[in-house]
Chains A and B, each alone.
Chain A
Amino acid sequence: MSAPVTGRVLRTRGEGLSLRVDGRALGASLGLAVALVAVMLVTLTTGEYELSVPEVLAALVGQGDGGAEFIVGTLRLPRLLTALFVGAALALSGAILQSLSGNPLGSPDVIGFTNGAATGALLVIIVLGGGMTQTAFGAFAGGLAAALLIYLLAFKGGVQGFRFILVGIGISALALSVNSYLVTRASLHDAVAAHAWLIGSVNGRGWEQVAAVGGTLAVLLPVALGAARRLSLLQLGDATATALGVGVQRSRLVLIATSVLLAAVATAAAGPIWFVALAAPQLARGLTRVAGPGLASSALMGGLLLTAGDLAVQLLFPTSQLPVGTATGCLGGLYLCWLLAAQWRKGSYT
């Protein structure tokens, strides 16, 4: 008799361990990981100074010559890792929120975490005149504040459904207009700094950012993966999840907090990066075809999107230092149009 469920079943004798593994999802994740490694190698080897793969590897383990070590260890690797971690953090944040809200629009960049973070950053740059580190803290605080506001306004009755998204879009618009107002009040010098921050980028990011986002991921990725099964039950609605033994309020609070922290830290490190949190989980789902939250594959997809995007702008516009945020912003706009049109056709806004 074949199992009535999808995927392969792995069991040890005595069944101390029994796992369900979705072959397609596993294959897709491996594929994403391979693509990611390829993108990373190309990123580390190409640029103004070409390096061979052995030279890069030697530099990575501290056996290369001084020039190669500087290029890899100081210039390329921190930028690459920032892109990787920021992409993964944003995608994970989006995957959690989309599963919780049951809506592909439930993404930190659509519902105002990102614009809220920008408000925090601009307040620091323009009103307090802070530097890069203070700006990052401002962005972090702004993201949390926006999330708290949405939570207070929309939480009644859970985050299921469209109410949460609509309130979030409202908060996003509100934050955006505050941001515009702040920029008009700024001195020319501050306005330029603000503008530079507002276009998310991983140019010139150093080990500080790598440590901040990487450390956050190291803590929150296991938290998210540990909550993934509860998340897949929350997808069935609060009543069913409770009936199946999930502590709904607490699980949801943990998951929302995880999502908010990931988005806020990522935005603090790289500025607003659009599109990744929104699209990566959907693209990953297109590959894996799983109905569950798909957190790991989403994180891989996010890391791949942002590293590949950053590589693309470096290859296509080698001299202009185009920020990766511009590229993802263009793609994200198109994707959002398509998504809204598709949802409208499906009639899911009724």
Chain B
Amino acid sequence: MAEGKLHVTRLYAENLTLAYDERTVATELGVAIPDDSFTVIVGPNACGKSTLLKALARMLKPRGGAVYLDGKGIGEYRTREVARRLGLLPQTSVAPSGITVGDLVARGRYPHQRMLRQWSRADEAVVTEAMRLTGVLELSGRLVDELSGGQRQRVWLAMVLAQQTSILLLDEPTTFLDIAHQVEVLDLCADLHEHKGHTLVAVLHDLNQACRYATHLIVMRPGGQIAAQGRPGEIVTADLVREVFGLPCRVIDDPETGTPLIVPASRRSSPKATVVAGIERSGA
């Protein structure tokens, strides 16, 4: 609180410059992840969502600025200490060939283990619970190589859950999944957020899913700037989507949840358009 801030969150970043070698992805980027939120980051391809997530998880050292976790620069912690507070599911992961599902999930316990305390009862209970939650417990003896993309994604999710961190960063956790499994994973995330007290940060591709599940939405624009952030219902408008994604659309209320629903404009004008126009939101 030295800066006299009213709301310092557990995880925030100030004035970040993010770059790979010559390519600068973002400058003067500041984000705060509200505590106990389900924060979703959306933005067009290559705008720097994964890069931001990597910086938040100390995987990428910022060129400028800093990331703070629980009141301290994230670089000041031992990496194992960070791993007990904050977990990350990267966009792509590799499993060594010949590993079983259970053994892979068990590797998520590493930050809690010691050389001579490799597999306590607590480890076992946590791993089993993580696998049960993600529905991969029946697969525990199978080889990861032999799973479908969707099963594999749930196994990785189980590994991150086994890490038992209160903050979870997930980079596109629904890729490779069919629509039913996407909803299943997102419902699981919502559950973790609501009932288990996790703070979640997820990058999602699908704007409508983002609006439905996020309690806090961060919209990034190309160039790594933040175009808007806040409750989806308060910030998502047709103007914003057009400006950030270059997509003409209308934004209506999701008939299931009342959250914003983005309906891309048809190139051919549709006779039905007048019907939805009745419930169209007003642009801000």
Tell whether B245 is near chain A: CB-to-CB under 8 Å: no
Residue of A20, A236, A247 most packed against chain B (CB within 10 A):
A236
User: Do A20 and B118 form a contact, CB below 8 Å, given A4-B127, A102-B94?
Assistant: yes
Contact indicator A291/B98 (Cβ below 8 Å): yes
Taking the complex as formed, is A64 at the interface, i.e. its CB lies under 8 A from any CB of chain B? Answer: no
The A contact surface, by secondary structure, is: loop
> Complex: how many Å from CA A16 to CA B115?
11
List B37-93 residues whose CB lies under 8 Å from chain A: 54, 57-59, 78-84, 87-90, 92-93
| A5, CB-defined interface residue at 8 Å | yes
Give chain B residues whose Cβ lies under 8 Å from the Cβ of A246.
79, 110
Q: State the Cβ distance, B88 to closest chain A Cβ, in Å.
A: 4
CB atoms of B83 and A243 under 8 A apart:
yes
Question: A326 within 8 Å of B by Cβ?
Answer: no
Instruction: Report which of A19, A237, A239, A247 forms a contact with B79, defined as CB distance below 8 A.
Output: A247
Q: Check if B118 sits within 8 Å of A5, measured CB to CB.
A: no
A243 in contact with B94 (CB, 8 Å): no
The answer to whether B127 and A233 touch across the interface, beta carbons within 8 angstroms, is: no
Least Cβ distance of B109 to chain A in Å?
9
Contact between A242 and B98, CB atoms less than 8 A apart: no
**A18 within 8 Å of B by Cβ?**
yes
- Residues of chain B within 8 A (CB-CB) of A236 are 93-96, 107
- How many Å lie between the Cα of A160 and that of B93 in the bound state? 12
Interface residues of A in 101-151 (CB under 8 A from B): 102
* Chain A nearest CB, measured from B82 CB (Å): 7
Quick one: which of B97, B101, B108, B117 contacts A17, CB cutoff 8 A?
B117
Is A289 in contact with B98, judged by CB distance below 8 angstroms? yes
CA distance A245 to B108 in the complex (A): 10
Q: Tell me whether A1 is interfacial, beta carbon within 8 Å.
A: yes
B121 proximity list for chain A (CB < 8 A):
11, 15
A19 touches B116 (CB 8 A): yes
Interface pair B103/A11, CB less than 8 Å apart: no
A111→B197 CA distance, assembly (Å): 49
A15 CA to B125 CA in the complex, in Å? Answer: 14
CB within 8 A of B128: which of A4, A9, A99? A4
Closest beta carbon of chain A to B62's beta carbon, Å = 15
Question: Which A residues are CB-close (under 8 A) to B108?
Answer: 244
Q: Find out whether the CB atom of B107 lies under 8 angstroms from the CB atom of A233.
A: yes
Specify which chain A residues have a CB less than 8 angstroms from the CB of B124 in the assembled complex.
Answer: 3-5, 9
**B82: chain A residues within 8 A (beta carbon):** 245
Q: In the complex the two chains form, is B117's CB within 8 Å of A15's CB?
A: yes
Report if A185 contacts B (CB, 8 A). no
- CB of B119 within 8 A of CB of A19, answer yes
B251 at the interface (CB under 8 A from A): no
Alpha-carbon distance A326/B123, docked complex (angstroms): 50
Let me know if B99 is at the binding interface, CB within 8 A.
yes
Look across to chain A and name the residue whose beta carbon is closest to the beta carbon of B99. Answer: A291
Q: How far is the CB of B280 from chain A (nearest CB, A)?
A: 42
Does B260 have its Cβ within 8 Å of any Cβ on chain A? Answer: no
Chain A neighbourhood of B78, CB < 8 A? 245
| Closest Cβ–Cβ distance, residue A223 to chain B (whole Å) | 13
Q: Are B83 and A232 in contact (CB under 8 A)?
A: no
A244 touches B110 (CB 8 A): yes
Q: Are B103 and A243 in contact (CB under 8 A)?
A: no
Q: A4-B102, A5-B103, A291-B103 are in contact. Are A243 and B90 (CB under 8 A)?
A: yes
Chain B nearest CB from A100 CB (Å) reads 11
Query: Which of B57, B80, B117 contacts A16, CB < 8 Å?
Result: B117
Is A6 on the interface with B (CB-CB < 8 A)?
yes
Complex contacts, B59 vs chain A, CB 8 Å: 238-239, 242-243
Q: How far is the CB of B92 from chain A (nearest CB, A)?
A: 8
Q: Which of A1-39 contact B (CB under 8 A)?
A: 1, 3-6, 9, 11, 15-20
B116 lies within 8 A of A17 (CB): yes
A229 at the interface (CB under 8 A from B): yes
CA distance A257 to B66 in the complex (A): 32
Task: Identify which of A17, A20, A243 gathers the most chain B CB atoms within 10 Å of its CB.
Answer: A243
In the complex, whether B259 has a CB less than 8 A from a CB of chain A is: no
Q: Is B131 an interface residue (CB 8 A)?
A: yes
**Complex: how many Å from CA A308 to CA B127?**
43
Neighbouring A residues of B252 by C-beta, 8 Å: none
Binary contact track B223-253/A, C-beta < 8 Å → 1, others 0:
0000000000000000000000000000000
**One of A11, A99, A160, A233 near B120 (C-beta < 8 A):** A11
B107 touches A244 (CB 8 A): yes
Q: Is there an interface contact between B119 and A237, defined as CB atoms closer than 8 Å?
A: no
Q: How far is A247 from B79 in the complex, measured between Cα atoms in Å?
A: 6
Q: Which residues of A contact B58 (CB under 8 A)?
A: 242
Given contacts A4-B102, A18-B118, A19-B116, contact A239 B107 (CB under 8 A): no
Considering the chains assembled together, what is the distance between the CA atoms of A243 and B80 in angstroms?
9
B73 to chain A, nearest CB (A): 16
Task: List the A side residues contacting B96 at CB < 8 Å.
Answer: 99, 102, 232, 235-236, 291-292
In the complex, 7 of the A-B residue pairs with CB atoms within 8 angstroms, ordered by the A residue number, are: A4-B127, A4-B131, A15-B120, A18-B116, A18-B118, A238-B59, A290-B98
User: B-side interface residues toward A, CB under 8 Å?
Assistant: 54, 57-59, 78-84, 87-90, 92-103, 105-108, 110-111, 115-121, 123-124, 127-128, 131, 137, 140-141, 160, 163
20 extra interchain contacts, Cβ-Cβ under 8 A, other than A291-B98, A292-B96?
A3-B102, A3-B124, A5-B100, A6-B102, A9-B124, A17-B117, A102-B94, A160-B94, A232-B107, A233-B110, A235-B94, A240-B90, A243-B57, A243-B59, A243-B89, A243-B160, A244-B110, A245-B78, A245-B111, A291-B96
